[in-house]
Amino acid sequence: MTPDLTPQFLELIRLAATDLPPDVEAALRQAVEQEEPGSAARGALETILKNVELSRANQTPICQDTGTPIFYVYHPEGWSTRKLRQQIEEAVVQATQKSYLRPNSVDSLSGKNSGNNLGGNYFPTIHFEEVEGDALTVDLMLKGGGCENVGAQYSLPYNTLKAGRDLEGVRRVVLDAVHQAQGQGCAPGILGVAIGGDRGSGYYASKEVLFRRLDDENENPELAHLEKRLTEEANQLGIGPMGFGGKTTVLGTKITALNRLPASYFVTVSYMCWAYRRRRMVWQDGNVSFE
């Protein structure tokens, strides 16, 4: 039996759209203290933080671009993914009516807006995976268009940057992606990086890894080291909040590694803007909790 969880999905969307996760807000508050008093960088971060507080208090979207809703659904054996999709889509329609989401789904050929954030099989994007146990876990990310535009995928070796098929090569291309983005992805950003896979799975995994908390540590010591190093080095590029210069260009880096064909070595970077809207819902035995 698949229970009707439409109201719970609506609450998940409301939380994601209007209430920035505590770890992201904490990182922004730490960043503001590092910028020079009176600087444009500090001003931009202070404005962002005011906006975060207002959105939470008024239950209004954190940013006017409410992004592409991307759901990762981990469901117990025997649940109907068809019914879960219907419920999630209904919750998306209701969230749009309540203005938690702006109507964002546009037909790519005609330019016509569907008006309710639905459209084909990929808007919203929903990934399903069956898991052991009897709990349903749903992760939701609202991925802004500006930051999605500056995502990048590199095929190594990448000779322009002398980037070979090793972690030093990964480091070079990820820093290049940040440099190319400048402030356009609404810095300070968070980098989701997938090493390996094919082009499709690389982008999938580079978004999935963004569900990790900012303050966690990669279980792989080599990747943990690279995550810290990339964050430090990106922050030395001087791009700063919204591209105004300063010390805070990225808030964190999260890396995952996938198996790949011997012939390919892709590095995929998903750039998430400061409006790092991601939330999790867990349902078990009729009880629901949100993180």
Tokens 């898991």, located at residue: 131
According to CB under 6 A, which one of 55, 273, 279, 281 is a site residue for ligand SF4?
273
Which of these segments, 53-61, 110-118, 190-198, 270-278, binds ligand SF4 (CB under 6 A)?
Answer: 270-278
| Shortest distance (Å) from residue 189 CB to ligand SF4 | 9
Distance (Å) of CA 253 to CA 29, 206, 232? 18, 11, 10
Q: How far is the CB of 144 from ligand SF4 (least distance, A)?
A: 2
Q: Closest Cα partner for 28 from 291, 271, 242?
A: 242
**The pair of three-digit structure tokens given for residue 39, joined into one six-digit string:** 């600087």
Residue 45 Cβ vs ligand SF4, minimum distance, rounded to whole Å: 13
Least Å from the CB of residue 241 to ligand SF4? 11
Ranges within 60-119 binding ligand SF4 (CB under 6 A)? 63, 65, 67
Question: Shortest gap between Cβ of 147 and ligand SF4 (angstroms)?
Answer: 4
Interface stretch with ligand SF4, choices 59-67, 102-110, 175-183, 253-261 (CB under 6 A): 59-67
Least separation in angstroms between residue 48's CB and ligand SF4 is 9
Query: Which of these, 145, 150, 168, lies nearest to 222 by C-alpha position?
Result: 168
| Closer CB to ligand SF4, 65 or 136, in the complex | 65
Q: For residue 222, give the H/E element and its range.
A: helix 221-234
Scanning 11-19, 112-120, 158-166, 273-281 for contacts with ligand SF4 by CB under 6 A, the matching segment is 273-281
DSSP calls for 119-134: BTBTBSEEEEEE-SSS
Per CB under 6 A, contacts with ligand SF4 among 134-163 are 144-147
- Tell whether the torsion through CA atoms of 97, 102, 105 and 110 is positive or negative: positive
**How are the residues of the chain apportioned to helix, strand and coil, as percentages rounded to the nearest 5?**
40, 25, 35
Question: Considering beta carbons, is residue 63 or 73 the nearer one to ligand SF4?
Answer: 63
Helix (H, G, I), strand (E, B) or coil at 70: strand
As a three-state string, the secondary structure of 167-218 is HHHHHHHHHHHHHHHCCCCCCCEEEEEEECCCHHHHHHHHHHHHHCCCCCCC
Is residue 240 part of the contact set for ligand SF4 (CB under 6 A)? Answer: no
Q: Which residue number, 187 or 267, has a Cβ lying nearer to ligand SF4?
A: 187
What the block records as the tokens of 286 is 């009729």
- Smaller CB separation from ligand SF4, 21 or 67: 67
Number of amino acids touching ligand SF4 (CB under 6 A)? 12
Per CB under 6 A, residues contacting ligand SF4 are 63, 65, 67, 144-147, 185-186, 273-275
